[in-house]
Amino acid sequence: MNTSIVIKKAEVKDAEAIHAIISEAFKKYVNDAGITVKIDALEETCEDIIRDINTKEVIIALSNGVPIGTIRVEIKDDNTAYISRFGVMPGYQNNGIGRALIAYVDNMLISKGIKKAYLYTASKHSELIRFYYSVGFYVESTSNDKGYIRALMVKEY
């Protein structure tokens, strides 16, 4: 199978595609992690995504022109970065797309002199926890502030 993967900064015109990716990826995440409460990612609108495109680094991955993955990065005043809304369409998971998105973000953050990135994920989702360890993150702490146990994952550069 000859596929061409392109990873780039998202534009406002990508908001609808990003909404579809987040919706599909986070429905699977909720199911796989056994989350029984509403999560913010599944409540967001295209307007929320457009706001983030205008205020954060929003990245989109395309396979042969088809939107298949996304990740958001907010650079904080303390020279850290918060990663959120990281998702890959279920049919494209476990094919290196997430790894490629993380590598793209790593290169961007290193070029900006960022020393630490962090994100949250469901601590009971062992496949995701293993994935994050495999790309250099570690668990710093856990919390139950959103109604399920979340791991604060950190990566230092």
CB-hemisphere CA count at 13 Å for 40?
11
Fold of 5-156: Aminopeptidase (3.40.630)
Residue 1: band (very low, low, confident or very high) from pLDDT cuts 50, 70, 90: very low
State the pairing for strand pair 116-122/138-143: unpaired
Token pair 């020279």 is found at 79
What is the overall mean pLDDT for the chain?
96
Residue 77 predicted with pLDDT over 90: yes
Sign, CA dihedral 99-46-81-28, equals negative
Phi first, then psi: give them for residue 100, nearest 5 degrees: -65, -40
- The whole model's pTM is what? 0.95
Q: Are 72 and 83 in contact (CB under 8 A)?
A: yes
Reading the block at residue 26, the tokens are 């986070």
What are the residue ranges spanned by the domains of the chain?
A: 5-156
- Classify 148 as helix, strand or coil: coil
Which pLDDT tens digit goes with each residue over 113-140?
999 999 999 999 999 999 999 999 999 9
Q: What is the mean pLDDT of residues 78-106?
A: 97
3-state secondary structure 5-56: EEEEECCHHHHHHHHHHHHHHHHHHHHHHCCCCCCHHHCCCHHHHHHHHHHC
What is the identity of the amino acid at 46? C
Contact 22, 44 (CB under 8 A): yes
Report the pLDDT averaged over residues 96-121: 98
